[in-house]
Amino acid sequence: MEYRIGLAQVAPRLGEVDANLELLAGWLRRAAAEGVALTVFPELALTGYLLSDLVPDVALSADDPRLAELSRMVPGMAVVIGLIEESDDHRFFNSAVLLRDGEVIGVHRKVYLPTYGMFDEGRFTRPGDRIRTHPLGEPLGRVGLSVCEDFWHPSLPMLQAQDGAGLLVNIAAGPARAPGSPSGMAAIAGWHRMQDTYALLGTVAIAFCNRVGNEEGLTFWGGSRLLAANGAMLAEGPLYEEALVVGSVEADDLRIQRYQLPLLADERLEVVRRELDRVIAERAGLPTAADDAEAGG
Amino acid sequence: MSDRAPETPPLPVIDPGQTAEVIIGFIRGQLAQTGFERLVIGLSGGVDSSTVAFLAARAVGPDNLLGIRMPYRTSSPSSETDALAVVGELGCRTELIDISPMVDPMLALIDEADTLAGHVRRGNVMARQRMIVLYDRSAAFDALVVGTSNKTEALLGYGTLYGDMAGAIAPIGDLYKSQLRALAGHLGVPPQIVDKPPSADLWPGQTDEAELGAGYDDLDRVLFAVVDRRWSVERCVAAGLDRGLVEAVARRVARNEFKRQLPPTAKLSLRTPSIDHLYPRRRPGSRRGS
B270 in a structural domain:
no
Q: Give the whole-angstrom CA distance, residue A157 versus residue A263.
A: 14
B10 in a structural domain:
no
Cis upstream peptide for A139 (omega within 30°): yes
Q: Which of A16, A21, A53, A120 to mutate to test the interface with B (most CBs of B within 10 A)?
A: A53
The sign of the dihedral angle between the CA atoms of A45, A170, A121, B151 is: negative
Domains and CATH numbers, chain A: 2-265 (3.60.110.10), 267-297 (no CATH)
B201 in a structural domain:
yes
The total of structural domains in chain B comes to: 1
Residue burial B239-265, b: 16+ Cβ < 10 Å; e: rest: bebeeebbebbbebbeebeebeeeeee
Distance from CA of A212 to the nearest CA of B (A): 10
Residue burial A36-47, b: 16+ Cβ < 10 Å; e: rest: bbbbbbbbbbbb
Q: Do A219 and B25 touch (CB under 8 A)?
A: yes
Average of per-residue pLDDT values in chain A = 94
ipTM of the complex: 0.87
Q: Give the whole-angstrom CA distance, residue A216 versus residue A118.
A: 12
Interface A–B counts its CB contacts (< 8 A) at: 62
The alpha-helical segments, DSSP class H, found in chain A are 17-33, 55-58, 65-72, 155-162, 186-202, 251-260, 263-266, 269-284, 289-296
Q: Give the whole-angstrom CA distance, residue B33 versus residue A235.
A: 31
Q: Which residue of A has its CA nearest to B19?
A: A179
Q: Identify the CATH number of the domain in which residue B96 sits.
A: 3.40.50.620
Say if residue B243's pLDDT is above 60. yes
pLDDT of residue A297: 47
Q: What is the pLDDT of residues A220-252, one digit of tens each?
A: 999 999 999 999 999 999 999 999 999 999 999
Q: Give the whole-angstrom CA distance, residue A129 versus residue B186.
A: 48
Q: Is the overall model pTM greater than 0.90, yes or no?
A: yes
Q: Do B280 and A185 touch (CB under 8 A)?
A: no
Q: What is the pLDDT of residues A50-72, one digit of tens each?
A: 999 999 999 999 999 999 999 99
**CB < 8 Å to A239, chain B:** 18, 21
Task: Indicate the residue of B29, B170, B277 with minimum beta-carbon distance to A214.
Answer: B29
B266 in a structural domain:
no
Q: Give the structural domain span for B216.
A: 16-260
Q: What is the pLDDT of residues B57-80, one digit of tens each?
A: 999 999 999 999 999 999 999 999
B8 in a structural domain:
no
Beta bridge partners of B169: B146
Distance from CA of A276 to the nearest CA of B (A): 33
B271 in a structural domain:
no
Residue B27 exposure: Cα atoms within 13 Å on the Cβ side: 33
